Chains A and B, each alone.
Chain A
Amino acid sequence: MSEAANELLRIESLSAGYAQPVLRPLSLQLGVGEILGVVGPNGCGKSTLLAALTGSARLFSGQIVKRAGLRLSLQQQQPPIIDGLPFNAAELIALTGATAQGLPPWLAARLGERLDQLSGGQLQFLYLWACLQAPADVVLLDEPTNNLDPEGVAFLEGVLQRRASEGAGLLVVSHDARFIDAVCTRTMRLQ
Protein backbone atom coordinates (compact mmCIF):
# COMPACT_ATOMS: atom_id res chain seq x y z
CA MET A 1 0.00 0.00 0.00
CA SER A 2 1.38 3.45 -0.91
CA GLU A 3 2.11 5.96 1.84
CA ALA A 4 -0.74 8.23 0.72
CA ALA A 5 -3.26 5.38 0.68
CA ASN A 6 -2.02 4.28 4.08
CA GLU A 7 -2.38 7.74 5.63
CA LEU A 8 -5.34 8.38 7.94
CA LEU A 9 -4.51 11.89 9.08
CA ARG A 10 -1.72 14.43 8.75
CA ILE A 11 -0.89 17.47 10.84
CA GLU A 12 1.18 20.25 9.28
CA SER A 13 2.89 22.92 11.42
CA LEU A 14 -0.06 22.99 13.78
CA SER A 15 -0.21 25.44 16.66
CA ALA A 16 -3.31 25.09 18.83
CA GLY A 17 -4.66 26.15 22.21
CA TYR A 18 -7.51 28.05 23.77
CA ALA A 19 -7.14 31.77 24.59
CA GLN A 20 -3.45 31.42 23.65
CA PRO A 21 -1.44 28.74 21.84
CA VAL A 22 -0.50 25.80 24.08
CA LEU A 23 0.83 23.45 21.43
CA ARG A 24 3.94 24.68 19.62
CA PRO A 25 4.04 24.14 15.83
CA LEU A 26 3.96 20.41 15.26
CA SER A 27 3.80 18.09 12.27
CA LEU A 28 2.95 14.40 12.28
CA GLN A 29 1.11 11.78 10.35
CA LEU A 30 -0.73 8.64 11.35
CA GLY A 31 -1.21 5.65 9.13
CA VAL A 32 -3.31 2.49 9.09
CA GLY A 33 -2.26 0.03 11.78
CA GLU A 34 0.05 2.49 13.53
CA ILE A 35 0.16 3.17 17.25
CA LEU A 36 1.77 6.56 17.72
CA GLY A 37 2.82 7.46 21.27
CA VAL A 38 3.00 11.13 22.27
CA VAL A 39 5.01 11.93 25.38
CA GLY A 40 6.27 15.11 27.03
CA PRO A 41 6.19 17.15 30.22
CA ASN A 42 3.01 18.63 31.72
CA GLY A 43 1.73 21.65 29.81
CA CYS A 44 3.48 20.85 26.53
CA GLY A 45 0.13 20.45 24.78
CA LYS A 46 -0.41 16.68 24.58
CA SER A 47 -4.10 16.85 25.47
CA THR A 48 -4.47 20.05 23.42
CA LEU A 49 -3.26 18.08 20.41
CA LEU A 50 -6.15 15.63 20.89
CA ALA A 51 -8.58 18.51 21.45
CA ALA A 52 -7.40 20.12 18.22
CA LEU A 53 -7.99 16.88 16.33
CA THR A 54 -11.59 16.69 17.59
CA GLY A 55 -12.35 20.36 17.04
CA SER A 56 -12.46 21.32 20.73
CA ALA A 57 -9.35 23.55 20.64
CA ARG A 58 -8.62 26.64 18.59
CA LEU A 59 -6.16 26.32 15.72
CA PHE A 60 -3.74 29.28 15.54
CA SER A 61 -1.73 28.13 12.54
CA GLY A 62 -1.09 25.10 10.38
CA GLN A 63 -3.67 22.53 9.35
CA ILE A 64 -5.10 19.10 9.99
CA VAL A 65 -5.78 16.92 6.95
CA LYS A 66 -8.09 13.97 7.57
CA ARG A 67 -8.94 11.20 5.13
CA ALA A 68 -12.43 11.74 3.70
CA GLY A 69 -15.11 10.23 5.91
CA LEU A 70 -12.64 9.55 8.73
CA ARG A 71 -14.35 8.45 11.96
CA LEU A 72 -12.61 9.51 15.15
CA SER A 73 -13.01 8.06 18.60
CA LEU A 74 -11.65 9.79 21.70
CA GLN A 75 -11.26 8.60 25.27
CA GLN A 76 -11.11 11.53 27.64
CA GLN A 77 -8.81 11.78 30.63
CA GLN A 78 -11.58 12.86 33.03
CA PRO A 79 -14.79 10.81 32.84
CA PRO A 80 -17.96 12.85 33.54
CA ILE A 81 -19.75 12.76 36.88
CA ILE A 82 -21.72 9.53 37.13
CA ASP A 83 -22.67 9.52 40.83
CA GLY A 84 -26.38 8.96 41.33
CA LEU A 85 -27.09 8.20 37.68
CA PRO A 86 -28.93 4.96 36.86
CA PHE A 87 -26.67 3.88 34.02
CA ASN A 88 -25.04 0.47 33.80
CA ALA A 89 -21.87 -0.80 32.18
CA ALA A 90 -23.66 -2.57 29.31
CA GLU A 91 -25.56 0.61 28.43
CA LEU A 92 -22.36 2.66 28.47
CA ILE A 93 -20.61 0.34 26.04
CA ALA A 94 -23.60 0.25 23.71
CA LEU A 95 -23.72 4.08 23.55
CA THR A 96 -20.61 4.33 21.35
CA GLY A 97 -21.65 1.41 19.17
CA ALA A 98 -19.11 -0.93 20.82
CA THR A 99 -19.88 -4.50 21.88
CA ALA A 100 -19.03 -6.25 25.13
CA GLN A 101 -17.54 -9.26 23.34
CA GLY A 102 -13.95 -9.78 24.47
CA LEU A 103 -14.17 -7.78 27.70
CA PRO A 104 -11.88 -9.03 30.47
CA PRO A 105 -13.72 -11.47 32.75
CA TRP A 106 -13.43 -9.17 35.79
CA LEU A 107 -15.48 -6.58 33.92
CA ALA A 108 -17.74 -8.84 31.87
CA ALA A 109 -19.19 -10.16 35.13
CA ARG A 110 -20.28 -6.65 36.15
CA LEU A 111 -22.00 -5.49 32.96
CA GLY A 112 -25.40 -5.18 34.64
CA GLU A 113 -24.11 -2.99 37.48
CA ARG A 114 -24.51 0.76 37.76
CA LEU A 115 -21.47 2.85 36.92
CA ASP A 116 -21.43 4.38 40.39
CA GLN A 117 -20.97 0.89 41.86
CA LEU A 118 -17.73 0.24 39.93
CA SER A 119 -14.19 1.04 41.07
CA GLY A 120 -12.13 3.81 39.44
CA GLY A 121 -10.05 1.26 37.54
CA GLN A 122 -13.08 -0.67 36.30
CA LEU A 123 -14.72 2.57 35.18
CA GLN A 124 -11.56 3.71 33.39
CA PHE A 125 -11.31 0.40 31.56
CA LEU A 126 -14.98 0.52 30.65
CA TYR A 127 -14.62 3.98 29.11
CA LEU A 128 -11.49 2.86 27.28
CA TRP A 129 -13.26 -0.19 25.96
CA ALA A 130 -16.28 1.80 24.77
CA CYS A 131 -14.03 4.19 22.83
CA LEU A 132 -11.57 1.58 21.57
CA GLN A 133 -14.27 -0.77 20.29
CA ALA A 134 -16.46 1.96 18.80
CA PRO A 135 -16.61 1.88 15.00
CA ALA A 136 -13.70 4.24 14.20
CA ASP A 137 -10.72 4.63 11.89
CA VAL A 138 -8.61 6.61 14.37
CA VAL A 139 -8.69 6.17 18.13
CA LEU A 140 -7.27 8.90 20.37
CA LEU A 141 -6.39 7.93 23.93
CA ASP A 142 -5.49 10.39 26.70
CA GLU A 143 -3.56 8.85 29.61
CA PRO A 144 -5.23 5.44 29.16
CA THR A 145 -3.34 3.72 31.98
CA ASN A 146 -4.65 6.07 34.70
CA ASN A 147 -6.23 4.07 37.54
CA LEU A 148 -5.47 0.72 35.89
CA ASP A 149 -3.71 -2.06 37.79
CA PRO A 150 -0.94 -4.12 36.04
CA GLU A 151 -3.46 -6.72 34.94
CA GLY A 152 -5.62 -4.00 33.35
CA VAL A 153 -2.60 -2.41 31.62
CA ALA A 154 -1.51 -5.77 30.22
CA PHE A 155 -5.01 -6.43 28.89
CA LEU A 156 -5.13 -2.94 27.39
CA GLU A 157 -1.85 -3.50 25.54
CA GLY A 158 -3.36 -6.56 23.87
CA VAL A 159 -6.54 -4.69 22.93
CA LEU A 160 -4.57 -1.80 21.38
CA GLN A 161 -2.40 -4.14 19.33
CA ARG A 162 -5.43 -6.08 18.13
CA ARG A 163 -7.24 -2.86 17.17
CA ALA A 164 -4.19 -1.70 15.19
CA SER A 165 -3.90 -5.05 13.44
CA GLU A 166 -7.54 -4.64 12.37
CA GLY A 167 -6.56 -1.43 10.52
CA ALA A 168 -7.20 1.39 12.95
CA GLY A 169 -4.64 4.11 13.65
CA LEU A 170 -4.10 4.90 17.32
CA LEU A 171 -2.66 8.03 18.90
CA VAL A 172 -1.78 7.54 22.54
CA VAL A 173 -0.88 10.37 24.94
CA SER A 174 0.70 9.08 28.14
CA HIS A 175 3.15 9.73 30.95
CA ASP A 176 3.66 5.99 31.31
CA ALA A 177 6.99 5.45 29.51
CA ARG A 178 6.92 1.68 29.99
CA PHE A 179 3.46 1.43 28.45
CA ILE A 180 4.41 3.65 25.51
CA ASP A 181 7.54 1.58 24.87
CA ALA A 182 5.61 -1.67 25.09
CA VAL A 183 2.71 -0.80 22.84
CA CYS A 184 3.63 1.96 20.38
CA THR A 185 5.07 1.44 16.93
CA ARG A 186 6.45 5.00 16.94
CA THR A 187 6.95 7.66 19.61
CA MET A 188 6.96 11.45 19.40
CA ARG A 189 8.26 13.69 22.19
CA LEU A 190 6.74 17.16 22.63
CA GLN A 191 8.78 19.92 24.26
Chain B
Amino acid sequence: MNTDVLFDPLFAEPFATGLTFAILLPLLGCYLRLRDEWLAALAFAQTAAAGSLLAMLFGLPLALGGLAAGGLAASLKHAFEGATRGAQGAAYAMLLLLGWGVSVLLVANLPLAERMGHALFDGQLYFTDRSHLITAGVFTILALTVLRGLSRRLLLAHFFPDFFRARGLSERRAHFAFDLLIAGALALATMSIGVMGAFALIFVPPLIAFSWADGWRPAILLSLAAGLASYIASFALALLLDQPFGPLLGLLLVSGGVFSALLRSFLGRN
Protein backbone atom coordinates (compact mmCIF):
# COMPACT_ATOMS: atom_id res chain seq x y z
CA MET B 1 0.00 0.00 0.00
CA ASN B 2 1.47 3.31 -1.08
CA THR B 3 0.83 5.92 1.63
CA ASP B 4 2.69 8.65 -0.28
CA VAL B 5 -0.48 9.23 -2.27
CA LEU B 6 -2.08 10.71 0.85
CA PHE B 7 0.31 13.64 0.70
CA ASP B 8 0.23 14.15 -3.06
CA PRO B 9 -0.45 17.89 -3.71
CA LEU B 10 -2.68 16.80 -6.58
CA PHE B 11 -5.35 15.80 -4.06
CA ALA B 12 -5.03 18.81 -1.74
CA GLU B 13 -7.71 20.95 -3.42
CA PRO B 14 -10.22 18.12 -3.82
CA PHE B 15 -9.66 17.24 -0.15
CA ALA B 16 -10.24 20.84 0.97
CA THR B 17 -13.35 21.13 -1.23
CA GLY B 18 -14.90 18.03 0.34
CA LEU B 19 -13.83 19.20 3.78
CA THR B 20 -15.98 22.33 3.52
CA PHE B 21 -19.03 20.13 2.91
CA ALA B 22 -18.00 17.75 5.70
CA ILE B 23 -18.28 20.78 8.00
CA LEU B 24 -21.43 22.33 6.57
CA LEU B 25 -23.67 19.34 5.81
CA PRO B 26 -23.63 17.65 9.26
CA LEU B 27 -24.53 21.01 10.84
CA LEU B 28 -27.41 21.64 8.46
CA GLY B 29 -28.49 18.03 8.96
CA CYS B 30 -29.12 18.67 12.67
CA TYR B 31 -31.77 21.27 11.81
CA LEU B 32 -33.26 19.02 9.11
CA ARG B 33 -33.56 16.23 11.65
CA LEU B 34 -35.05 18.62 14.20
CA ARG B 35 -37.81 19.32 11.68
CA ASP B 36 -38.02 15.65 10.70
CA GLU B 37 -37.42 16.69 7.11
CA TRP B 38 -34.35 14.61 6.31
CA LEU B 39 -35.94 13.43 3.08
CA ALA B 40 -35.46 17.01 1.90
CA ALA B 41 -31.75 16.30 1.53
CA LEU B 42 -32.30 13.58 -1.02
CA ALA B 43 -34.98 15.55 -2.85
CA PHE B 44 -32.87 18.70 -3.13
CA ALA B 45 -29.74 16.78 -4.15
CA GLN B 46 -31.67 14.86 -6.82
CA THR B 47 -33.27 18.05 -8.17
CA ALA B 48 -29.90 19.83 -8.19
CA ALA B 49 -28.38 16.97 -10.19
CA ALA B 50 -31.18 17.28 -12.74
CA GLY B 51 -30.55 21.04 -12.90
CA SER B 52 -26.85 20.49 -13.55
CA LEU B 53 -27.63 18.12 -16.41
CA LEU B 54 -30.01 20.68 -17.90
CA ALA B 55 -27.32 23.37 -17.57
CA MET B 56 -24.91 21.11 -19.44
CA LEU B 57 -27.49 20.73 -22.20
CA PHE B 58 -27.56 24.51 -22.66
CA GLY B 59 -23.80 24.95 -22.31
CA LEU B 60 -24.06 26.70 -18.92
CA PRO B 61 -21.91 26.08 -15.82
CA LEU B 62 -23.09 22.97 -13.96
CA ALA B 63 -22.99 24.73 -10.58
CA LEU B 64 -25.28 27.44 -11.90
CA GLY B 65 -27.81 24.85 -13.06
CA GLY B 66 -27.59 23.00 -9.75
CA LEU B 67 -28.06 26.14 -7.68
CA ALA B 68 -30.93 27.36 -9.85
CA ALA B 69 -32.66 23.98 -9.65
CA GLY B 70 -32.08 23.84 -5.89
CA GLY B 71 -33.57 27.33 -5.46
CA LEU B 72 -36.51 26.39 -7.66
CA ALA B 73 -37.05 23.19 -5.67
CA ALA B 74 -37.11 25.14 -2.39
CA SER B 75 -39.62 27.60 -3.89
CA LEU B 76 -41.82 24.79 -5.23
CA LYS B 77 -41.76 23.06 -1.86
CA HIS B 78 -42.70 26.32 -0.15
CA ALA B 79 -45.59 26.92 -2.56
CA PHE B 80 -46.75 23.29 -2.41
CA GLU B 81 -46.86 23.26 1.38
CA GLY B 82 -48.72 26.56 1.40
CA ALA B 83 -51.36 25.09 -0.89
CA THR B 84 -51.73 21.69 0.81
CA ARG B 85 -52.31 21.82 4.55
CA GLY B 86 -51.42 18.65 6.42
CA ALA B 87 -49.31 17.20 3.59
CA GLN B 88 -45.98 17.92 5.28
CA GLY B 89 -43.21 16.00 3.57
CA ALA B 90 -45.22 15.25 0.44
CA ALA B 91 -43.37 18.01 -1.40
CA TYR B 92 -40.11 16.12 -1.01
CA ALA B 93 -41.51 12.98 -2.61
CA MET B 94 -42.80 15.12 -5.49
CA LEU B 95 -39.39 16.77 -5.92
CA LEU B 96 -37.64 13.40 -5.83
CA LEU B 97 -39.86 12.15 -8.63
CA LEU B 98 -39.38 15.37 -10.59
CA GLY B 99 -35.58 15.24 -10.30
CA TRP B 100 -35.50 11.56 -11.14
CA GLY B 101 -37.77 11.97 -14.18
CA VAL B 102 -35.79 14.87 -15.66
CA SER B 103 -32.42 13.17 -15.03
CA VAL B 104 -33.38 9.84 -16.54
CA LEU B 105 -34.90 11.48 -19.62
CA LEU B 106 -31.75 13.55 -20.19
CA VAL B 107 -29.45 10.59 -19.62
CA ALA B 108 -31.51 8.46 -22.01
CA ASN B 109 -31.39 11.03 -24.80
CA LEU B 110 -27.95 12.62 -24.52
CA PRO B 111 -24.78 10.49 -24.58
CA LEU B 112 -22.73 13.08 -22.67
CA ALA B 113 -25.46 13.41 -20.04
CA GLU B 114 -25.15 9.73 -19.23
CA ARG B 115 -21.51 10.10 -18.23
CA MET B 116 -22.20 13.30 -16.35
CA GLY B 117 -25.23 11.76 -14.67
CA HIS B 118 -23.10 8.94 -13.27
CA ALA B 119 -20.48 11.44 -12.11
CA LEU B 120 -23.11 13.53 -10.32
CA PHE B 121 -24.67 10.59 -8.56
CA ASP B 122 -21.42 8.82 -7.64
CA GLY B 123 -19.36 11.96 -6.97
CA GLN B 124 -16.35 13.38 -8.77
CA LEU B 125 -14.36 14.79 -5.89
CA TYR B 126 -10.94 13.96 -7.37
CA PHE B 127 -11.75 16.01 -10.45
CA THR B 128 -12.64 19.19 -8.61
CA ASP B 129 -10.34 22.18 -9.05
CA ARG B 130 -9.62 25.52 -7.41
CA SER B 131 -12.84 27.11 -8.72
CA HIS B 132 -14.87 24.40 -6.93
CA LEU B 133 -12.88 24.99 -3.75
CA ILE B 134 -13.42 28.75 -3.84
CA THR B 135 -17.15 28.38 -4.54
CA ALA B 136 -17.53 25.79 -1.77
CA GLY B 137 -15.49 27.85 0.70
CA VAL B 138 -17.36 31.11 0.08
CA PHE B 139 -20.74 29.37 0.20
CA THR B 140 -19.86 27.56 3.43
CA ILE B 141 -18.82 30.78 5.16
CA LEU B 142 -22.00 32.52 3.99
CA ALA B 143 -24.18 29.56 4.95
CA LEU B 144 -22.67 29.30 8.44
CA THR B 145 -23.25 33.02 8.97
CA VAL B 146 -26.89 32.76 7.87
CA LEU B 147 -27.41 29.59 9.94
CA ARG B 148 -26.09 31.36 13.02
CA GLY B 149 -28.79 33.98 12.58
CA LEU B 150 -31.50 31.46 11.75
CA SER B 151 -30.71 28.89 14.44
CA ARG B 152 -32.68 30.42 17.32
CA ARG B 153 -35.68 31.08 15.09
CA LEU B 154 -35.74 27.50 13.82
CA LEU B 155 -35.48 26.13 17.36
CA LEU B 156 -38.10 28.52 18.73
CA ALA B 157 -40.47 27.74 15.84
CA HIS B 158 -40.10 24.02 16.57
CA PHE B 159 -40.40 23.99 20.36
CA PHE B 160 -42.76 26.98 20.77
CA PRO B 161 -44.70 27.34 17.51
CA ASP B 162 -47.55 29.29 19.12
CA PHE B 163 -45.18 31.50 21.09
CA PHE B 164 -43.28 32.11 17.84
CA ARG B 165 -46.46 33.26 16.07
CA ALA B 166 -47.56 35.26 19.11
CA ARG B 167 -44.36 37.28 18.76
CA GLY B 168 -45.37 38.18 15.21
CA LEU B 169 -42.64 36.04 13.65
CA SER B 170 -43.20 34.14 10.40
CA GLU B 171 -42.50 30.41 10.49
CA ARG B 172 -42.89 30.15 6.74
CA ARG B 173 -40.28 32.83 6.11
CA ALA B 174 -37.75 31.23 8.47
CA HIS B 175 -38.32 27.80 6.97
CA PHE B 176 -38.08 29.10 3.41
CA ALA B 177 -34.74 30.75 4.19
CA PHE B 178 -33.53 27.45 5.67
CA ASP B 179 -34.78 25.47 2.67
CA LEU B 180 -32.85 27.78 0.34
CA LEU B 181 -29.75 27.21 2.43
CA ILE B 182 -30.17 23.44 2.28
CA ALA B 183 -30.90 23.49 -1.45
CA GLY B 184 -27.81 25.62 -2.18
CA ALA B 185 -25.52 23.51 0.00
CA LEU B 186 -26.71 20.28 -1.57
CA ALA B 187 -26.54 21.66 -5.10
CA LEU B 188 -22.86 22.54 -4.64
CA ALA B 189 -22.04 19.38 -2.68
CA THR B 190 -23.59 17.25 -5.42
CA MET B 191 -21.09 18.73 -7.93
CA SER B 192 -18.18 17.33 -5.94
CA ILE B 193 -19.14 14.49 -3.60
CA GLY B 194 -22.24 13.35 -5.48
CA VAL B 195 -25.91 12.96 -4.63
CA MET B 196 -25.54 10.00 -2.28
CA GLY B 197 -22.31 11.22 -0.66
CA ALA B 198 -23.99 14.55 0.15
CA PHE B 199 -27.08 12.75 1.44
CA ALA B 200 -24.94 10.49 3.64
CA LEU B 201 -23.10 13.48 5.15
CA ILE B 202 -26.28 15.40 5.93
CA PHE B 203 -28.26 12.40 7.21
CA VAL B 204 -26.03 10.04 9.21
CA PRO B 205 -23.89 12.32 11.47
CA PRO B 206 -26.98 13.96 13.08
CA LEU B 207 -28.56 10.52 13.45
CA ILE B 208 -25.53 9.41 15.49
CA ALA B 209 -25.25 12.67 17.43
CA PHE B 210 -28.93 12.87 18.41
CA SER B 211 -28.84 9.58 20.26
CA TRP B 212 -25.79 10.51 22.38
CA ALA B 213 -25.89 14.24 23.05
CA ASP B 214 -27.55 15.72 26.14
CA GLY B 215 -28.11 19.10 24.56
CA TRP B 216 -28.28 20.99 21.28
CA ARG B 217 -24.74 22.36 21.32
CA PRO B 218 -23.18 18.97 22.13
CA ALA B 219 -25.30 17.46 19.34
CA ILE B 220 -24.01 20.02 16.84
CA LEU B 221 -20.41 19.35 17.88
CA LEU B 222 -20.84 15.58 17.83
CA SER B 223 -22.48 15.68 14.41
CA LEU B 224 -19.63 17.83 13.12
CA ALA B 225 -17.04 15.44 14.58
CA ALA B 226 -18.76 12.39 13.08
CA GLY B 227 -18.97 14.05 9.66
CA LEU B 228 -15.35 15.19 9.68
CA ALA B 229 -13.95 11.90 10.95
CA SER B 230 -15.85 9.82 8.40
CA TYR B 231 -14.94 12.20 5.58
CA ILE B 232 -11.21 12.16 6.38
CA ALA B 233 -11.19 8.39 6.84
CA SER B 234 -13.09 7.80 3.58
CA PHE B 235 -10.85 10.12 1.62
CA ALA B 236 -7.73 8.39 2.89
CA LEU B 237 -9.16 4.90 2.35
CA ALA B 238 -10.32 5.74 -1.17
CA LEU B 239 -6.81 6.89 -2.11
CA LEU B 240 -5.01 4.00 -0.40
CA LEU B 241 -7.32 1.31 -1.77
CA ASP B 242 -7.85 3.03 -5.14
CA GLN B 243 -11.63 2.92 -4.71
CA PRO B 244 -14.36 5.50 -5.49
CA PHE B 245 -14.79 7.98 -2.64
CA GLY B 246 -18.60 8.37 -2.51
CA PRO B 247 -19.53 4.73 -1.83
CA LEU B 248 -16.75 4.40 0.78
CA LEU B 249 -18.07 7.50 2.58
CA GLY B 250 -21.61 6.13 2.51
CA LEU B 251 -20.55 2.69 3.77
CA LEU B 252 -18.37 4.12 6.52
CA LEU B 253 -21.16 6.40 7.73
CA VAL B 254 -23.73 3.60 7.64
CA SER B 255 -21.36 1.36 9.61
CA GLY B 256 -20.87 4.15 12.14
CA GLY B 257 -24.62 4.71 12.38
CA VAL B 258 -25.37 1.03 12.94
CA PHE B 259 -22.56 0.66 15.49
CA SER B 260 -23.76 3.76 17.34
CA ALA B 261 -27.36 2.52 17.45
CA LEU B 262 -26.31 -0.93 18.71
CA LEU B 263 -24.04 0.53 21.36
CA ARG B 264 -26.74 2.98 22.46
CA SER B 265 -29.23 0.16 22.70
CA PHE B 266 -26.76 -1.97 24.67
CA LEU B 267 -26.04 0.86 27.09
CA GLY B 268 -29.75 1.43 27.52
CA ARG B 269 -31.13 4.74 26.32
CA ASN B 270 -33.28 5.43 23.26
Judge if A180 is at the interface, Cβ distance under 8 Å. Answer: no
Judge if B162 is at the interface, Cβ distance under 8 Å. Answer: yes
Count of chain A residues with a beta carbon within 8 Å of a chain B beta carbon: 34
**A114 adjacent to B163 (CB under 8 Å):** no
- Chain A minimum-CB-distance residue to B158: A80
Kindly list chain B residues whose C-beta atoms are within 8 Å of the C-beta of A96. 156, 160, 163
For the complex, give the distance between the alpha carbons of A140 and B167 in Å. 12
Judge if A76 is at the interface, Cβ distance under 8 Å. Answer: yes
Kindly list chain A residues whose C-beta atoms are within 8 Å of the C-beta of B215. 86-88, 90-91, 112, 114
Interface residues of chain B: helix, strand, loop or mixed (majority): helix
* Contact partner, B167, options A71, A87, A90, Cβ 8 Å: A71
Judge if B213 is at the interface, Cβ distance under 8 Å. Answer: yes
Interface residues of chain A: helix, strand, loop or mixed (majority): mixed
* Contact partner, B163, options A51, A74, A85, A113, Cβ 8 Å: A74
Judge if B218 is at the interface, Cβ distance under 8 Å. Answer: yes
Chain B interface size, as a band, is 20 to 34
Q: List 25 A-B contacts (CB under 8 A).
A: A55-B166, A71-B167, A73-B163, A74-B165, A75-B162, A76-B163, A80-B159, A81-B36, A84-B210, A84-B211, A85-B34, A86-B209, A86-B212, A86-B218, A87-B159, A87-B216, A88-B216, A92-B159, A95-B152, A114-B214, A116-B270, A130-B160, A131-B160, A131-B163, A140-B166
Task: Other than A50-B162, A74-B162, give 6 A-B pairs with Cβ distance below 8 A.
Answer: A76-B162, A80-B158, A84-B210, A87-B159, A88-B216, A95-B160
